[in-house]
Structure 1
Amino acid sequence: MLLADVVTTSAEVAATRSRLAKVKALAGLLAKAGPGAVEPAVAFLAGAPRQGRTGAGWRTLYDLKATPSAEPGLTVERTDEILEELSHTSGKGSTQKRADLLTELFGAATESEQEFLRRLMTGELRQGALEGVMLDAIAAAADVPGEAVRRAFMLSGRLTVTAVAALTGGEAALTEFKLEVGRPVRPMLASPAESLQSALEELGDVVVEYKMDGARIQVHKSGDDVHIFTRTLREITGSVPELVELVKGLLCQSVVLDGETLALQDDGKPRSFQETMSRFGATNQRELLLHPYFFDCLHLDGVDLLDVPLRERNNALREAVGERVIPGGTENAEQILADSLAAGHEGVMVKALDSVYAAGRRGKAWQKVKPEHTLDLVVLAAEWGHGRRTGYLSNLHLGARDPDGGPPIMVGKTFKGMTDELLAWQTKELQTIESHRDDFAVYVRPEFVVEIELDGAQVSPRYPGGVALRFARVLRYRPDKDPADADTIDAVRALLPGKS
C-alpha cells in the first residue's frame, strides 16, 4: 500500500466533522490494505508510529534537507521498516546511521508525505478520540460487529493488534482475545453526575465509594510474579516495591485488581496528587509512602470476572484484599460523601451494582460526584507573562476533546491558580513539545492534560466550539492522562446554564 493513500485518507478525516464520513474514509482504506500494511496503517492514522519514539527529534526533522520525490512511490510497509530501524539505532555511529535512514525515508516521500511524516514522528497527528472512530472503521472494514472489535481492543490494549485480528481472521479471531494476567486491561471510566441525588435515582441499587485524589493503578498477580500499571497502561512495577510486596502477600494465587494509590500525611489525609505521582519515579524506598485502596476485581484464582455484576466482583474483591477495599457502602450515601470530603478526598463514586466492567469506556454505570466543577483539558499553547511573570509561559490556551476524532477544540484561557514552582516547570516543559511560536505565545503539540476548576460555561462566539469557560483556574497537570482521556466538548457544553 502506498503511503500516499494513508496521507490522503488522513487529510479526508481531518477535513470533516462528520463521524460517519471519518469512519467511511478509514474503513475504505483498511479494506484494501494488504496484511503487511494493516498494522502500520492503523498506527499512522491513529497518530503515532507503532514503534513509539524513533529517536528523531522535532528540530532534526524540520532541519532535514531532502528533496521530495516528484511522484508517490513510498509504501507503508517500507516506511514502517525504516521507522523500526530508527527505533533500534543506538551506540557508536548511530548519529550517521539515523541521518542516512531519515534521508532515505524523506527522499522517497513526496512533499505532502514529508509533511505527514514530520507530524507523525513529532506527535502532531494526535487526534484525541480518533481511537473510537478507528474502532468503528475496523468493524466496518472487516464486516464484524462493533462490540466484538471493542471487546478485543479492551483485552488486547492495542488498536493495531485488534485491527490485524479483525481484518485477517474476522469475528472468530476477535473472540480469541481473553483476559491475560500480566497484560493490562483498559480501565473502566466514570461520567460526571449532576448531583448525588440524580446519580442515586438513575442507577438504582448502588455502592457509594470515596473518590480519592490518587493515582489509578491496575495490579496483576500470578504467584510471586507481580505487575503494576498506571491508567495509561504504563508499567511502574520497578518504582513501587512496597506495593509489589503488599500484593505478593495477598492470600490468592492469581488476581487482577483495579484501584487507587495515595501518598498519605501523618494524620492519614492524602498528600497532593503531584506528590503521589512523583513516588512512581522515586529511587529511595524511604520516599515511597504509597497506600493502595482497591475498588474492583477483574480476575481471581483462575476465574475471569469482567462480565459478572459488580456486586459479585465486590465479593471477590473483599475475599482477595480484605481491609484494602476502598471505603464506602450501600447505605447513607450523603454521610459517605460528607465523610469522604472531611477526610480530604474529592467526593464519591456512585456505581450500579448490576453493572459489568466496561473496560475503556465512559458509561453511566459509574458516576463521579464532586462539589466543584472540574474538567481535564488539553494544553494547546501558552502566552508569555507580564510584570512578575515576565519570562514565564503563563496564560494557557485550553482545548476540549473532539468526540468525533478531530483536533482539540479551544474553549478558553487561564493564568489563574499557578504557583511560582508550576510556572517555572510549565515554562521549561512546554517548550520541549513546541510546534511553533509567535511574538506572544508558544504553541505546543497536544500532549499535556491539565485539570481545571471552573464556575461553569457560557455561550461564546469567540471560540470554535461556541462555548467558553467561566472563571477557570489551574488545579494541576495530569501526567497520568493522555489527550484521549481529556473531557469532550460535549462535557463543556453540559455546563451551560439550563443544561443540568
Structure 2
Amino acid sequence: MPTTLRSVVDASAAVAATRSRDAKTSIVAALLADTAPEDLDVVAHYLAGTLRQRRTGVAWGSLRTHRAPADDATLTVAEVDAAFERLAALTGPGSVDKRTRELDALFGAATAAEQEWLVAVVTGNLRQGASESLLIDAAARAASVEVAEVRRAAMLAGSAAEAVALALIGGTEALRAVGLSVGRPVQPMLAASEKDIATAMAKADPSGAPVSVDVKLDGIRLQAHRDGDRVWLATRTLQDVTERLPEVVEAVLALPVERCVLDGEAMLIGPDARPRAFQETAARTASDAGEAVAAFFFDALQIDDDVLLDEPAEVRFAALERVVPPALRVARTVTDDPGVAEEFARRALEAGHEGVVVKNLSSPYAAGRRGSGWVKVKPVHTLDLVVLAVERGSGRRAGMLSNIHLGARDPGTGGFVLLGKTFKGMTDEMLRWQTGRFRELETSDDGWVVALRPEQVVEIAFDGVQRSTRYPGGVALRFARVVRYRDDKPAAEADTIDAVRAFLT
C-alpha cells in the first residue's frame, strides 16, 4: 500500500512534540515499519527533514502565495517526490511559469497541515528533532538489527536513507553486503578538537603510546578513487569535482597502483610555497578553470586489492607511504613526546598552516564519525556555526547584508540555538558575496532582519564563551569574528551547543 504524506506529517509532528529521544525513535521506527519498501528512501529523507532532490529551484518567494488547502489527505510520498523531481528538472525559458503551475498543483492537493510541512521542508526549517543519527537508531529498531550495522552501511554507502532501506528490506545480510567500493565515496572520518597538544595526545591515545601528528591543511577535503585509468574525486559533502581538477586526476593516475581510495586535501599553493587563503581554494574548486590545485593525501582506505578501512592507522599510513610520493603527502611525525609534537606544530604554523591533527595509530578509519581517534589543535579557538539571519548594513555597509546571527546545532530538537551576532572580520569582498548568497536563502524580510534557511556554515573565531541570559542557549561568544564561509561543510556537521558550552571557563 502506498505511503501517504499524512503519515509522515503526523509522525513529524509527534516527534517534534516530545523531547525524549527514545520516544522519537519509537515514533520513527513505527512509521518505517509500516512504510512500503518502494517508499523507504523518500520517507527516510523526509523523516530526516530533507528532500531527496539536492536542488529544486523553489525560492521562498514562490511559497508565499496562499493556496487553498485540500479538505482530505490524498497525497502519497511518491507523488510528492515525483513533483519535486519535475521541479528540479525545470530550466530555461518558461520555467518560472511551469514551476508556479507545478507548485499550485502540489499545494492544492495538500491539506493545511501538509502545506505547512512542505513549506518547512523546502525552506530547511523543519524543527522536529529527527537527525540522521536518530533515523539510523529507528531503522535498527524497526528491522531488529544492530545499530552499528546500520551506521556502518550508512557511512560506506554515503547515505543514511539507503542504509535505512537496506535494513528494512534485507536486514543484517544486506547491510553487511555494503562495503568499500571504488568509485563510491564514503563519509569522511572527522576530528574532535582540543586546546593544546598535550591534551590532544592524551585524548587520542590515553595509553601514552606514540601518536601521529599531521599538519592540518586549510584546504578542501578531497577523497580520490581510482580504478585502472578512471579517477573520481569527491569533496567532504561527497560532491563530485572530478571534472574541475584535471591536475589532481593526472597526479592520481601517475601513482603505481591499479586501484586506490585515498583521503586528503586540495589547496592552492602560492609562488612562495605557502598555502593560499581558504576562500581562494574554495573558489577555484567550485570552478572548471583556474590555477592548478595541489593535492596532499594523509590516509589510504584501499590500495589495489587490499581494503584497509578496518586496519589500524599505522598500517594504512605505511601503505600510503609505499605508493604516494612525499610531495603528495601531508607532512607528519610520530612521537610520544609532547615537546616534539609542540615543535612540529610550531613549524607547521610558521609555514602558514592551520595547526595539527593528532591521530591514534591503532584506530580504524571511522567513516562519518567525529571520535577521539583524531584530535585537531589550532592556536585560535574556532567553531563552525550556521547563519540563521542577517541584518541590513548601515553607513559604509549600506545596501549590504552585514551583521550575521549565529546558531549552534541542537541535536535534541534538530534545530539551532542562537549564540549572538557579529559583523567583525568581514572583508568588502566577503560582504558582497554574502549579500548575494543570503538573498538566495531568504525566508522572510521585515525590512531590517532577513531570516534565512539554516544552510550556510561559517567558521567563527572567538576569545571565549561566557554565560548569558540574553540568548536561549544560555551562552554567548566573546569577540566573535568571521574567519571564512564553509561551502564545503553542510549545516548537519556544524558544531553543537554542547561543544560551545565546553569552552565555558
Could you state the TM-score of these two structures normalised by the residue count of structure 1?
0.95
Tell me the CA shift for residue 173 of structure 1.
0.9
C-alpha distance in 1 between matches for 2:74 and 2:185: 39
Aligned residue number for residue 454 of structure 2: 446
**Can you give the 5+ residue segments of structure 2 that lack an aligned partner in the other structure?**
none
Deviations 1:330-369 (A, max 9, x none): 1321111011011011111000000000000000010001
Deviations 1:28-53 (A, max 9, x none): 21121121222111111222221332
C-alpha distance in 2 between matches for 1:84 and 1:325: 41
Counterpart residue identity of residue 221, structure 2: R
Tell me the CA shift for residue 93 of structure 1.
6.3
Question: Is residue 328 from structure 1 mapped to residue 336 from structure 2 by the alignment?
Answer: no
Aligned residue number for residue 246 of structure 2: 241
Question: Is residue 256 from structure 1 mapped to residue 258 from structure 2 by the alignment?
Answer: no
Give the 3 Å change call, closer, same or farther, for CA 420–87 of structure 1 in structure 2: closer
Aligned residue runs from structure 1 range 72-471, under 5 A: 72-90=73-91, 97-125=98-126, 130-202=131-203, 203=205, 204=208, 205-284=210-289, 287-323=290-326, 324-331=328-335, 332-471=340-479
Q: Contact 2:457–2:491 (CA<8 Å) still a contact in 1?
A: yes
Tell me the CA shift for residue 262 of structure 1.
1.4
Aligned residue number for residue 489 of structure 1: 497
Tell me the CA shift for residue 145 of structure 1.
0.6
SS at match of 2:410: coil
C-alpha distance in 2 between matches for 1:440 and 1:128: 29
SS at match of 1:199: helix
How many percent identity over aligned positions?
50
Q: Contact 2:47–2:130 (CA<8 Å) still a contact in 1?
A: no
SS at match of 1:408: strand
Range 135-144 or range 223-232, more displaced? 135-144
Give the 3 Å change call, closer, same or farther, for CA 174–382 of structure 1 in structure 2: same
Counterpart residue identity of residue 260, structure 1: E
Q: Contact 2:69–2:111 (CA<8 Å) still a contact in 1?
A: yes
Counterpart residue identity of residue 154, structure 1: M
Q: Pick one of 50, 56, 59 that aligns with 1:54.
A: 56
Tell me the CA shift for residue 94 of structure 1.
5.2
C-alpha distance in 2 between matches for 1:209 and 1:90: 45
C-alpha distance in 2 between matches for 1:432 and 1:89: 18
Q: Contact 1:242–1:288 (CA<8 Å) still a contact in 2?
A: no
Q: Contact 2:154–2:161 (CA<8 Å) still a contact in 1?
A: no
Tell me the CA shift for residue 322 of structure 1.
2.0
Tell me the CA shift for residue 269 of structure 1.
0.8
Deviations 1:262-285 (A, max 9, x none): 11111111110001111113344x
Counterpart residue identity of residue 35, structure 1: P
Q: Contact 1:62–1:118 (CA<8 Å) still a contact in 2?
A: no
Equivalent residue pairs, number? 494
Counterpart residue identity of residue 451, structure 2: Y
SS at match of 1:245: helix
Give the 3 Å change call, closer, same or farther, for CA 432–144 of structure 1 in structure 2: same
Range 305-314 or range 461-470, more displaced? 461-470
C-alpha distance in 2 between matches for 1:412 and 1:85: 39
Range 486-495 or range 386-395, more displaced? 386-395
**Can you give the 5+ residue segments of structure 1 that lack an aligned partner in the other structure?**
none
Tell me the CA shift for residue 135 of structure 1.
1.2
Tell me the CA shift for residue 61 of structure 1.
2.8
C-alpha distance in 2 between matches for 1:404 and 1:254: 41
C-alpha distance in 2 between matches for 1:14 and 1:442: 25
Give the 3 Å change call, closer, same or farther, for CA 82–387 of structure 1 in structure 2: closer
Deviations 1:154-177 (A, max 9, x none): 111112211111011111111110
Give the 3 Å change call, closer, same or farther, for CA 430–416 of structure 1 in structure 2: same
Tell me the CA shift for residue 221 of structure 1.
0.6
Range 31-40 or range 482-491, more displaced? 31-40
Tell me the CA shift for residue 62 of structure 1.
2.5
SS at match of 2:297: strand
C-alpha distance in 1 between matches for 2:252 and 2:480: 40
Counterpart residue identity of residue 330, structure 2: I
SS at match of 1:329: strand
Deviations 1:391-434 (A, max 9, x none): 22111100001123521111111111111221121112111110
SS at match of 1:44: helix
C-alpha distance in 2 between matches for 1:240 and 1:58: 34
Counterpart residue identity of residue 274, structure 1: Q
SS at match of 1:330: strand
SS at match of 1:442: strand
Q: Contact 1:294–1:326 (CA<8 Å) still a contact in 2?
A: yes
SS at match of 1:217: strand
C-alpha distance in 2 between matches for 1:218 and 1:188: 11
SS at match of 1:429: helix
Tell me the CA shift for residue 109 of structure 1.
0.7
Tell me the CA shift for residue 217 of structure 1.
0.3
Aligned residue number for residue 5 of structure 1: 7
Range 3-12 or range 488-497, more displaced? 3-12
Range 340-349 or range 16-25, more displaced? 16-25
Could you state the TM-score of these two structures normalised by the residue count of structure 2?
0.94
Give the 3 Å change call, closer, same or farther, for CA 232–362 of structure 1 in structure 2: same
SS at match of 1:48: coil
SS at match of 1:391: coil
Q: Contact 1:129–1:402 (CA<8 Å) still a contact in 2?
A: no
Deviations 1:251-303 (A, max 9, x none): 1000000001111111111110001111113344xx32311111100001011
Q: Pick one of 28, 31, 49 that aligns with 2:30.
A: 28
Counterpart residue identity of residue 231, structure 1: R
C-alpha distance in 1 between matches for 2:21 and 2:352: 41
Give the 3 Å change call, closer, same or farther, for CA 131–429 of structure 1 in structure 2: same
Q: Contact 1:310–1:352 (CA<8 Å) still a contact in 2?
A: yes
Give the 3 Å change call, closer, same or farther, for CA 91–198 of structure 1 in structure 2: closer
SS at match of 1:430: helix
Counterpart residue identity of residue 332, structure 2: G
SS at match of 1:401: strand
Q: Contact 1:212–1:260 (CA<8 Å) still a contact in 2?
A: yes
Tell me the CA shift for residue 370 of structure 1.
0.9
Q: Contact 2:16–2:127 (CA<8 Å) still a contact in 1?
A: no
Tell me the CA shift for residue 439 of structure 1.
3.2
SS at match of 2:424: coil
Q: Contact 1:282–1:288 (CA<8 Å) still a contact in 2?
A: no
